[in-house]
Amino acid sequence: MTELKTLMLFLFTALAEILGCYLPYLWLREGKSIWLLFPAAICLAIFAWLLSLHPTASGRVYAAYGGVYIFAAIFWLWLVDGIRPTFWDLLGASVAIAGMCIIMFAPRHT
């Protein structure tokens, strides 16, 4: 159960970061309202808070989170941008997720 909880926490963390970066993108590149910066700031604050909830050392969390972020960004590419990921996108995201699993779930000597 701990592994599933960790994965879900990583996914929510990635969603908060992507939204926190995507909303300013909409303002800067797509001409949307400057008011999008307020929910963007909230999303980035939530992102930082969610990273602090992980039960392991921060460096390990940041390293493993990178893999989840890559996966989430490829999914975002497909879901939001409407661009179907290539084989190479999916392979890269799979390698990143495998790396995250090794970092987070490998046996540790305490």
Tell me the domain boundaries of the chain.
2-105
CB atoms inside a 10 Å sphere around CB 50:
19
Residue 108 to residues 65, 103, 105, Cα–Cα distance (Å): 18, 10, 8
Give the C-alpha separation, 53 to 61, whole Å.
10
Q: What span, in angstroms and rounded, lies between the C-alpha atoms of 72 and 31?
A: 25
Segments of the chain with pLDDT less than 50: none
**CA 36 remoteness from chain centre:** 20
What's residue 55's pLDDT? 74
**Full-model pTM:** 0.80
